[in-house]
A and B are shown apart, each in its own frame.
Chain A
Amino acid sequence: MFSLVESSPARSDGPSSDERELIERAKRDPEAFGLLYERYVAQIYRYLYYRTGNSQDAEDLTARTFYRALEHLHRYQERGLPFTAWLYRIAHNIVVNWQRDRRRRPVVALDYVVTRAAEGDPQEMLEEEEERESLMRAFQSLAPDRQELLILKVVEGMSNAQIGAIMGRSEGAIKSLYHRTLLELKRNLEGI
């Protein structure tokens, strides 16, 4: 049986001292806030890209996430969780509201198709595209927390412990959720 728990780095719950210092500075120094933004913008953008399914909305929601972070940073208090946990929570709430307001499901991203369209045999490309599209549909029909788990696990390459710290669950709960998510994804793929 293959293991669902990869060899993971040591669990790092709270921010590092360097990060903590930067966060404190960012509360009163705009340039420090700019550095904080630079450190996390790619992660938040990726998360929103896969939650929305396209780069335009991902950009819009990334901007909203950081504006909200700026607005509430003075109230941020470290509670033993990584700073990213706070940012992901803001991004999650924003994407949930966005989906509810527009009553729309995420769409399968087209950006990647454009990137790959110039390469290789058209038949092969078509098959690849079908494979990608079915996977993205199956992925996007998962519950938000399951999508979040897969993004953190697959895209960000985080360990179960790190994901647990971000999602506010135990490492064991993440392991079990990951297994159930894969099974659900398998069922979704069979249904497509």
Chain B
Amino acid sequence: MEEQDATLAQIIERLQRWLVPVEPPPAFARSLKGELVEAAWRQYQRTHRLRRILLVGAAIAGSLASVAGLTAFLILRRRARAHPPVAVG
């Protein structure tokens, strides 16, 4: 058991020796950041535009529905006036 522990301790030591914390090359990290921030701007603008289109679309649809409702109301009222209900009896 102790022998196995010693071997595992040696393996841990080797791992610590060779699996060292490497760093990304600074030029790569910098350039990727620039590309990502630019892509983020594009993505956010796209999302913003899409939201605006949806908002305007919803506003137009709402307005059209209101106009249609009002028109229907006026037509129905006119019809009702043209043909008043006849009293039975």
Contacts and interface: CB of A to CB of B under 8 A. Distances in A.
Contact of B11 (A49, A155, A189): A189
Interface string B1-33: 110010111011011101111111100110011
A135 B43 contact: no
Top 6 A-B pairs ranked by shortest CB distance? A30-B40, A45-B24, A34-B37, A154-B19, A33-B40, A30-B41
Query: How many residues of B sit at the interface, in one of the four size bands?
Result: 20 to 34
A20 interface: no
The B contact surface, by secondary structure, is helix
Interface of A: 1-2, 28-31, 33-34, 37-38, 41-42, 45-46, 49-50, 55, 58-59, 62-63, 66-67, 70-71, 74, 111-112, 131-132, 135-136, 139, 150-151, 154-156, 179, 182-183, 185-186, 189
B39 interface: yes
The A contact surface, by secondary structure, is helix
Contacts of B37: 30-31, 33-34
Given A45-B22, A186-B8, A67 B14 contact: no
